[in-house]
Chain A
Amino acid sequence: MSAVEAVRPRRNIELVLLILALLVGCGANAMTAINEGAALSNDFWMESGILAAASLALHISLRFRAKYADPVILPIVVTLNGLGLAMIHRLDTPDTDYGNAQARWTVIGMALAAVVIWVLKDHRTLRRFTYISLILSAVLLVLPLVPGVTAGDINGAQVWIKFGSATFQPGEVAKITIGIFFAGYLSTNRDLILLAGRRIGKLQLPRFRDLGPMIIAWLASIGILIFQHDLGMSILFFGIFISMIYVATSRASWALLGILLMFGGAMAASIIFPHIRLRIDGWLNAFDPDVFGRQFGGSYQIVQGLFGMANGGIIGTGLGQGRPDLVPFAHSDMIIAAFGEELGLVGLFAIVMLYALLVTRGMRAAIGARDAFGKLLACGLSAGIGLQCFVVIGGVTRLIPLTGLTTPFLAAGGSSLLANWIIIALMLVISNAARRPLDTTPLQPEEAPNPATTSSLRKQTAAETTLTQAVKKQ
């Protein structure tokens, strides 16, 4: 990165891109109405107005509070969110109103993102909450199992809680808190994890207590799988963890160990739990008449999705002109199939490239970040988005078994939208720190005398000493 590039805030470029993004999102919404031969409804104007106003508010927040933030991230996400709104609105029947619900959640999500940008001047503040995040993650993950709070078993998974008549998926938010915990823990202890422990031949064995976080992550993932029947979330959590521990240690062996643990767990789970076995069966034998016709855990949904995508072909049927409504859960789990059908291979490739670009910008922020915590957090959150796309789109296209994960920003689902907007806010804040000119980066004075920070600093010094000794020994 050249110094000149780093100094320019590039907020005006963001504004131009943002207007393009809004044109795409709202344009898609208008197109469906036009192609279906309907006039632009009140819903259209409301959804478009909300999206435009909230996007501009976020843009202005960035101008004030994080003016060096990456200028591409926000427009990408607004594009995706707008496309999602358009498709969900398009799939609404006279009896459903997912489109407006999604618009409401978009406002809430973007408002929370703005709050994060205003409140969180420096992402390193979050490091103070390392262990609080751990506790919070545990609480969030356990909530759906607590009687009285839980919304019970919905579509085979127990991942929802009730708020009056509304439901919420706390696991989505736990993605963030667990990311903060791992980033905090690993940035503090990476040297110890790396160097302490016995060495047998070429293999550096970690100390048992340094394996702690990996075991916690693994147990949490398995727990999600066993108690909540949520294979997708389980894979996602563990995937985020693996990417972070790999980045923290630069050791492929750790990542490999993690992947082995994940596969081992998944294999065991598929043997023990019938619902996972059914999922895998529905994936491998999707075109078997028995599997296709099975009422629960069958392949009807995925096969209908494949039919839809095949029907879309290269250029798609055009918005509003396909039959994505034939696919169950087209507005949420299967929204990728709906886009594949109506926008075709070309449109879906564009969407995938948007995600790839988003992940790349997140990783770029991680590389630019000047502290280990920021690097790890940005990397973990970006990897999470990338992995989530892989699990969802791979599931819909029958590359891997279909799981219940949502497509970030596209799929209908308030919890997911809210959590992902917070993730984007964090990415923006970290990218701001990464791209900001060097001479403006001292820690805020009010943060320094915090005992937690001091003790962790002391720990770091200890770690460094160990490091020096270890290096000397070698």
Chain B
Amino acid sequence: MNQAIRHAWVAIAAMFALILGSISYVQVIGADELASNQWNNRAILQTFCQDRGTIVVAGQPIVQSVASGSESCKYQRQYLKPDLYAGLTGYYSNIFGSTGLEKSMNATLTGTSDQLLLDRIKQLFLGQQPQGASVELTIDPAIQQLAYSLIPDGMRGSIVVTNPKTGAIIAMVSKPSYDPNQIATHDQAAAQAAMTKLQGVPGINLNQSVSGPTGALLAPGSVFKLVDTTAALASGKYNKDSVLPNPAQMPLPGSSATLPNYAGGNCYTQNEASFAFALEQSCNTPFASIALDLGQDAIGKQAAAYGFGQDAGNLLHLDYQSGVWPTNLDQAQLAQASIGQFNTKASPLQIALMTDAIANGGVQMKPSLIKTVRAPDLRIIDEPKPEVLRTSTTPAIAGQITDWMTQVVSNGIAKGAAVPGVQVAGKTGTAELGTSGLNNSWFTGFAPADNPQVQVTVVMEGVDVLTGAKLTSPSASKIFEAVLKK
């Protein structure tokens, strides 16, 4: 009987072990996931009135906690240059939760991250108020300001400036923007009213996963031809001297419609084209024929290698949507999709990452937004190093495409992006939005072409062709100049 009692004890002990396991799971292993659950408003409720860490750009705070003067809720979040940085910082509200870096860096900013455990214990024993860590961004404030001013008020657009060699984000802006102070206020009625009003503004970047440079999925138009070109060279069927068919109009297989070349440029002068000419003039039919030749899987594979449908790594700290290469296309749809129309979609950051990869010899670095994380005593507790995200193509192919992109700027359709004394590589895109006559106008490129220091992607949404041309390539030129002058 005693043996059986011992066995019963072992069974109960096993149950206790299971319990310890499930407690560990809930409180440690799965805790982060639970903390970030959409229904979980504890972090906000609990830390809303605490002294959160600052978010810093080039030594200057852009978000800080200030004494609110109220006894029940001692600190108020304050956004300096609110509209300029709203797309990155997001807001921090006890009604609407948090977005942007306020959400993703919450544990660090409140001081509850594991790295700050010792600080927390120290504060506990010294009886100090809990204090969060501060986060310094990779952003260059001058470039951020310049990029923001290059999008006219009242228009919709995004600009992403990166360092292709490190993946560091130098500037990332979009308009329309908003003032997070209005939402983070302790005055709940005012916050509610502001939110209702802002939600009515189309394209406003309130939620980084569906809007702004990281979340708005836009038709990429001709910048997608860089994917076709890469796929063509990677297939081995094409090389730099290949001659591509360039009819003014191409019948779409299985359909009565035709795919025309861009009417405004010089495409009509040649019935056959080299890659250089086709890219310079951004002719449609050569790339559509490449796509029909290689098939949708080959284009899709190359798109994925550039990041379409993939994540952007763990250094971005913002909600992110990359892009979409549609599946189950018929031939007519494939032709359309290959020139960045139909259901092909990309976020501005995705296009920037693609160009980064070309600039960096085919290697895509993880986009990163955090330069340093400092404990309350200014000790550096985290300093993310550049990391490779994925290999998108070979150095040879990247170099070849760089050559052609240089010609696009020097004697092609993207002349506006040129910078005196610097070789700029670039590609434009004009994605038609239905039959409205309005387009998404793109520029993506980098400089200097032989030793890339800076990548710029500009997109203006819903503009006519002339406005688009004015607001993309010339804007990129100004940013190239500003960054390279430093």
Contact = CB atoms under 8 A, between A and B. Distances in A.
Interface of A: 243, 246-250, 287, 292, 303, 306-315, 317-318, 322-323, 326, 340, 344-345, 348-349, 352, 355-356, 359-360, 363, 366-367, 372, 375, 379, 382-383, 386-387, 389-390, 393-394, 397-399
A363 B8 CA distance: 9
A310 B46 CA distance: 13
B15 A323 contact: no
A352 B28 contact: no
The 3 A-B pairs of least Cβ separation, nearest first, read A310-B34, A386-B12, A397-B22
Contacts of A317: 46
B27 A340 contact: yes
Contacts, number: 138
B45 A352 contact: no
Interface stretch (B35-43, B152-160, B184-192, B207-215): B35-43
B251 interface: no
Contact of B27 (A246, A312, A372): A312
15 contacts: A250-B4, A307-B34, A309-B34, A311-B31, A314-B27, A314-B117, A315-B120, A322-B46, A326-B42, A345-B24, A367-B6, A375-B1, A375-B5, A394-B18, A397-B22
Nearest to A314: B28
Contact of A366 (B5, B19, B39, B40): B5
Contact of A307 (B25, B40, B124): B40
Given A287-B37, A314-B27, A317-B46, A389 B16 contact: yes
Given A303-B37, A318-B124, A389-B16, 9 more contacts: A243-B8, A307-B39, A309-B34, A310-B31, A322-B46, A345-B24, A349-B20, A382-B12, A389-B15
A314 to B, nearest CB: 6
B5 A379 contact: yes
A363 B4 CA distance: 11
B46 A323 contact: yes
A335 to B, nearest CB: 14
Interface residues on B, range: 35 or more
Interface of B: 1-9, 11-13, 15-16, 18-28, 30-32, 34-35, 37, 39-40, 42-43, 45-46, 112, 117, 120-121, 124
A309 B5 contact: no
B1 A248 contact: yes
B16 A313 contact: no
Nearest to A386: B12
Given A363-B9, A390-B16, A394-B18, A309 B1 contact: no
A292 B23 contact: no
A383 B8 CA distance: 8
A385 B32 CA distance: 32
Contacts of A308: 42
A322 B27 CA distance: 14
A386 B16 contact: yes
B25 A397 contact: yes
Contact of B19 (A313, A352, A363): A352
B23 A349 contact: yes
